Amino acid sequence: MTEQMAHIVYLIAGVLFIFSLAGLAKQETARTGNFCGIIGMAIAILVAMAMASGLHSLVYAAIALGAVLGAIVASRVAMDKMPELVAILHSFVGLAAVLVGFAQFLKGDNSEGVEHLIHQIETYVAIAIGAITFTGSIIAWGKLSATLSGKALTLPGRNLINLGMLVALVYCGVNFCQADTQADQLQWLYWNTAVACVLGVHLIVAIGGADMPVVVSMLNSYSGWAAASAGFMLSNNLLIITGALVGSSGAILSYIMCRGMNRSFANVIFGGIASTGGGGGSGESKGVEDCQVVQAVQVADLLRQARKVAIVPGYGMAVARAQHGVSRLTQKLRDEDTEVYFGIHEVAGRLPGHMNVLLAEADVPYDIVLGREEINPDLAEMDVVLVIGANDIVNPDALENPESPIAGMPQVEVWQSKTVVVFKRGMATGYAGVANPLFFKENTRMCFGDASDVVEEVLGALD
């Protein structure tokens, strides 16, 4: 196969990837989109294999092994473990970028002058980004799978530390480009990798669990930039195109997540929410005795009388794996001609769109699952809103109290409805550590217990 031909096939693959992303924008076209991606990837790999005559068998073996491992992981993972899977997959791209970078460096190139310098910089940058993505994603995985604490670890002067490491990276880079022998250069490359790895860890460790949706999509973006920089290094347009697509897509997702929390990107990365433990709330400290506690039977009564019901799920639903019960409850209510809607906040859960995936898994039709902006205007008409394991996304203080640490964060305004029932394990605050006056509102009822158990009890009482 000629080189020109290969370029054309790469172009086709690139276009297929664009279709793939465009297809993923809508439910109706999403499956076609995924299919486009698969085709694009397949022809790209085949052409790459046809391009050179090396040890094909070894490469095929590596791909086959990767395919088997990938397939096992992907088919075994439970839907509520999706955030962890996505995070760990990001780390693989980062690792691959580092490995390719080192391989390319060791292979060496015979260009000279400016061109040589640029190639060196490209290699250096590809390895740095890859390493940050690699360790950052591993930390994110650890936090999401609760292997590591979800709390933000904030070292004193951590922004200075970050800056220092960035300077160190540049310093190593300059030395790397100026070093004479390959051995010296390799030395600096190791330093580069080490510093970038530490930077990746430090960046993500400092971000609290509630901000994980942003982190995951940010790392998604990084993995794209890592691929793109590898493309520069290898002079491969397809890698550049794909990397740039993924990079910008991840960046946009991060932006959307940040907007969902009314925070700037810089604020998420550099300044976590201060855990005030209820301070800055309504100024009154209230306890269980100030809210109206109900039992599952009473919730069932409320539901039986309701004509319109909205369900607002949060991370608590995922933790309790209550989505299947919620789905059956939905089915039951709909069978009795009650209108049921779901209201999903952008940052509910630990991954962008986390709730949607869980609900889809539990067979809830996607056309009754609405976004925050779609459902807010209709909430006043709802007879009952069930808040299942959500807290910081249904906090009226965010809109009413400028002192609140989450002031300005858009909310699912459940309190506008006639009755709100909050399913909750206890009176603890949410991830942001902020008190929630919703629980004490006149039209709010609290139903304590594990979300899954409570939903089952309500189902039982409805029979």
Partner 1 sequence: MKLGVVRETFEGERRVIATPEVVEKWVAAGHEVLVEQGAGDRCSASDAAYEAAGAKVVETATAWTEPELVLKVHAPNDTEIDRLPEGRALISLVYPAQNSELIRRLEAKRITSFALDCVPRITRAQPMDVLSSQTGIAGYRAVLNGAQHYGRYFKGQITAAGRTPPANVLIIGAGVAGLAAIATARDLGAQVKVFDVRPPVKEEVESLGATFLEIESEESGEGVGGYAKEMGKKSQDAQHELFRKEAANTDLVITTALIPGKPAPLLLPKEVVEALKPGSVIVDLAARAGGNCELTQPGEVVDHQGVTILGPTLIESELPRQASDFLGQNVTRFLTLLSPEGEMNVDLEDDIIRCMLITREGKTHWPPENIPQPDKPKSGTAAAAPVTVNEPEDSGVGKYMFAAAILGLTLLVGAKAPKDFIEHYTVFVLACVIGYNVVWGVTHSLHTPLMAVTNAISGIIVLGGILLALTTVSKAVLWLSLAAVLVASINVFGGFLVTHRMLKMFRSDKDRKGGKA
Residue (179 or 370) nearer to partner 1, CB: 370
CB atoms within 10 A of CB 10: 22
Distance CA 155, CA 161 (A): 9
Asked if 283 interacts with partner 1 (CB under 8 A), we say no
Query: Any long-range contacts for 25-29 (C-beta under 8 Å, 24+ apart)?
Result: 27/366
Give strand pairing partners of 371. 344
Kindly state the smallest distance separating residue 365's Cβ from partner 1, in Å.
4
Asked if 231 interacts with partner 1 (CB under 8 A), we say yes
Site for partner 1 in 14-73 (CB under 8 A): 14, 17-18, 20-22, 24-27, 30-31, 33-34, 37-38, 40-41, 44-45, 48-49, 51-56, 58-59, 62-63, 65-67, 69-71, 73
CB atoms within 10 A of CB 88: 18
- Note the helical H segments in 24-77: 27-51, 56-76
Which one of 90, 158, 202, 445 is in contact with partner 1 (CB under 8 A)?
90
Distance CA 82, CA 210 (A): 16
Q: Residues touching partner 1: how many (CB under 8 A)? A: 139
The verdict on whether 392 is a catalytic residue reads yes
Residues whose CB falls within 8 Å of the CB of residue 290, separated by 6 or more in sequence, listed in order: 440
Site for partner 1 in 380-419 (CB under 8 A): 380-381, 396, 398-402, 407-408, 410, 413, 415-416
Which one of 135, 330, 356, 391 is in contact with partner 1 (CB under 8 A)?
356
Residue appearing with tokens 């691959």: 96
> One of 180, 392, 397, 453 is an active-site residue; which one?
392
Kindly state the smallest distance separating residue 318's Cβ from partner 1, in Å.
12
Kindly state the smallest distance separating residue 155's Cβ from partner 1, in Å.
25
Quick check: 176 and 170 in contact, CB under 8 A? no
Asked if 343 interacts with partner 1 (CB under 8 A), we say no
Residue span binding partner 1 (CB under 8 A) among the ranges 139-147, 250-258, 299-307, 310-318: 250-258
Query: Edge-to-edge strands of the sheet including 339-344?
Result: 369-371, 339-344, 308-313, 384-388, 419-424, 444-448
Asked if 81 interacts with partner 1 (CB under 8 A), we say no
Asked if 301 interacts with partner 1 (CB under 8 A), we say no
Which one of 206, 216, 302, 310 is in contact with partner 1 (CB under 8 A)?
216
Kindly state the smallest distance separating residue 113's Cβ from partner 1, in Å.
8
Residue (343 or 433) nearer to partner 1, CB: 343
Site for partner 1 in 180-209 (CB under 8 A): none
Residue (336 or 463) nearer to partner 1, CB: 336
Kindly state the smallest distance separating residue 316's Cβ from partner 1, in Å.
18
Both structure tokens of 122: 């490209």
Asked if 166 interacts with partner 1 (CB under 8 A), we say no
Q: What SS3 string covers 389-447?
A: CCCCCCCCHHHHCCCCCCCCCCCCCHHHCCEEEEEECCCCCCCCCCCCHHHHCCCEEEE
Distance CA 175, CA 463 (A): 74
Residue (132 or 357) nearer to partner 1, CB: 357
Question: What are the residue numbers of the active site?
Answer: 392
